[in-house]
Amino acid sequence: MTTRASGWRALAALALTSLLAAGLARADDRTEIESKSQAALAKLRQHAKEIDKLIQRASGVLVFPDVVEMTFGERGRYGEGALLIKGEPVAYYASAGAPHNMKDQGGRKVEVLLFMDQQALIDFRNTINWKVGVSEGVTKVRVDERGRLETARNTPPVLGVSFNDAGVLGNLDLNGTTINRIAR
């Protein structure tokens, strides 16, 4: 009986600790999201030297600077980011999707969507529960070993790139990722 009681106490303590930790965790505010987004784009420019040309041509750039893999309970990934138009933040979004099982890479990454077509950007901004591969297809940006972009002649309406500290992650699939506007 004593063992069972101490087991319940340990479980209750663990549950209380989890609730307290969840209460202390908070979402980033506007300033943090904007700062992290600009830093993420600077880091992307280091990994993909020609990306700046695409960023400048894009009608809008959606940056999720800190996408985290959740490996407990309902597994998945989540991140918050900013939509930049002409380099300025105009709205904030949350991204959620299936996990990529990035254990060897720390489970954190940056995701960037480049809206190369004005109509694709308008459609994105006017859609609730915008889903990659359903609402619009996203073509992955590929980078060779020297940091040069491998692009097609005809630029697709939406380009996507994922990267972490090690470099561009060409093997990650963004299909199924759901993106929604959030208040900040």
Domain boundaries, the chain: 28-182
Chain centroid, CA 179 distance in Å: 9
Tell me what the pLDDT averaged over the chain comes to.
80
Count of residues in the chain: 184
Name the helix (H) or strand (E) containing 66. Answer: strand 60-70
Residue-wise pLDDT tens digits, 113-148: 999 999 999 999 999 998 886 666 677 777 777 666
| Cβ count near 64 (within 10 Å) | 26
Q: How buried is 53 (Cβ within 10 angstroms: 0-12 exposed, 13-18 middle, 19+ buried)? A: exposed
**Whole-structure pTM value:** 0.78
Residue 13 has pLDDT above 70, yes or no: no
CA nearest to 177, candidates 60, 30, 64:
64
**Each residue's pLDDT tens digit, 37-57:** 999 999 999 888 788 899 999
